[in-house]
């Protein structure tokens, strides 16, 4: 299935137009901005952290925004464009190419669904649907929900009341309970002395089959990449998932867990309530994270952790016993 483009691109730009102060041997036309592992020869990519060295070394892009100390990791076929602040330059280019992606503008195409517009779909009262929306058979959408333009919802889904879905693609048999907000702009800013610069978010939210999302959850769309929720995963009430987060299959996420941007969560992961996952981390498969934990570093497969900062469960119990004995 071809995924929709939710944001209209202004136009394609030549390198010289994007970087007028730099002279290029070949002034090629840039078709899009993509992350290192997805970029092709006609795309511009970016490399701002040593964490992504593996992807930098194998990128197919001809040109890459990066810094002096990181350029050595790029393949010979990739030309570095050296800048002081990669993310600021990236945000500036995205704003130029996708001028409507820095704010969630109201969808002017929203209307009450017409009779027989969607076959075998049941709507509650005052549901609004945007242009080019696709909804599968036997799906139910609760009252006062909003489905914005180009959203795709699969078969046998249940969407609760007062739900907003935009910039998203949902699989089959997905359940989204009341009050959820899916596909809104993420919390992305470039801190500057004069004024913080908003980072445009041009990605999507992809929710696979048989996912259940409980009441009041918020899932931000990706910035340059997509935010993804794997099949058979369950989110409890008031979970927040930031831009670009990837959550694997068969995960169980308890209430009020928060994920910062660009972290990757493996399969069969369980996370207790009110835990926090820092950004740009990799959590392995079969990991268990105790409630109230603060995860600030990568976790290997099959680990059980707890505490703030999160440490192995065995060490957490040892430390707790020592502290309890002293207090006694």
Assess whether 201 carries a catalytic annotation: no
3-state secondary structure the chain: CCCCCCCCCCCCEEHHHHCCCCCCCCCCEECEECCCCCCCCCEEEECCCHHHHHHHHCCCCCEEEECCCCHHHCCCCCEEEECCCHHHHHHHHHHHHCCCCCCCCCCCCCECCCCCCCCCCEECCCCEECCCCEECCCCEECCCCEECCCCEECCCCEECCCCEECCEEECCCCEECCCCEEEECCCCEECCCCCCEECCCCCCEEECCCCEECCCCEEECCCCCCEEECCCCEECCCCEECCCCEECCCCEECCCCEECCCCEECCCCEECCCCEECCCCEECCCCEECCCCEECCCECCCCEEECCCCEEHHHHHHHHHHHHHHHC
Structure-token match 């059980």, residue found: 304
* Cβ atoms 27, 12 nearer than 8 A: no
**Options 149, 240, 243, 280, the catalytic residue:** 243
Nearest alpha-carbon partner for 219 in 179, 270, 272:
179
Q: What gap in Å lies between CA 52 and CA 45, rounded to an integer?
A: 12
Which residues are known to be catalytic? 243
């Amino acid at each position: 299935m071809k995924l929709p483009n939710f944001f209209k691109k202004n136009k394609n730009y030549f390198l010289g137009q994007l970087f007028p102060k730099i002279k290029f041997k070949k002034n090629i036309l840039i078709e899009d901005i993509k992350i290192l592992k997805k970029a092709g020869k006609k795309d511009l990519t970016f490399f701002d952290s040593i964490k992504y060295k593996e992807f930098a070394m194998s990128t197919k892009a001809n040109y890459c925004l990066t810094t002096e100390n990181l350029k050595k990791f790029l393949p010979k076929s990739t030309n570095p464009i050296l800048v002081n602040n990669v993310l600021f330059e990236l945000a500036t280019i995205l704003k130029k190419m996708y001028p409507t992606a820095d704010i969630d503008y109201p969808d002017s195409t929203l209307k009450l669904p017409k009779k027989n517009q969607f076959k075998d779909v049941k709507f509650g009262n005052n549901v609004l649907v945007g242009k080019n929306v696709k909804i599968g058979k036997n799906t139910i959408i609760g009252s006062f929900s909003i489905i914005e333009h180009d959203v795709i919802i699969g078969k046998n889904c249940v969407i609760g009341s007062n739900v907003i879905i935009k910039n998203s693609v949902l699989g089959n048999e997905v359940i989204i309970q009341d009050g959820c907000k899916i596909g809104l702009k993420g919390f992305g800013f470039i801190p500057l002395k004069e004024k913080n610069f908003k980072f445009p978010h041009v990605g999507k939210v992809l929710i696979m089959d048989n996912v259940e999302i409980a009441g009041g959850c918020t899932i931000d769309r990706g910035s340059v990449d997509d935010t993804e929720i794997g099949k058979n995963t369950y989110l409890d009430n008031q979970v927040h998932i930031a831009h670009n987060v990837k959550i694997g299959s068969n995960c169980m996420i308890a209430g009020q867990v928060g994920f910062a941007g660009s972290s990757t969560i493996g399969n069969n992961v369980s996370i207790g309530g009110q835990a926090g996952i820092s950004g740009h981390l990799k959590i392995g498969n079969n990991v268990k994270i105790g409630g109230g934990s603060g995860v600030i570093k990568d976790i290997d497969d099959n680990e059980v952790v707890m505490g703030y900062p999160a440490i192995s469960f065995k060490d957490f119990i040892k430390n707790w016993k020592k502290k309890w004995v002293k207090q006694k």
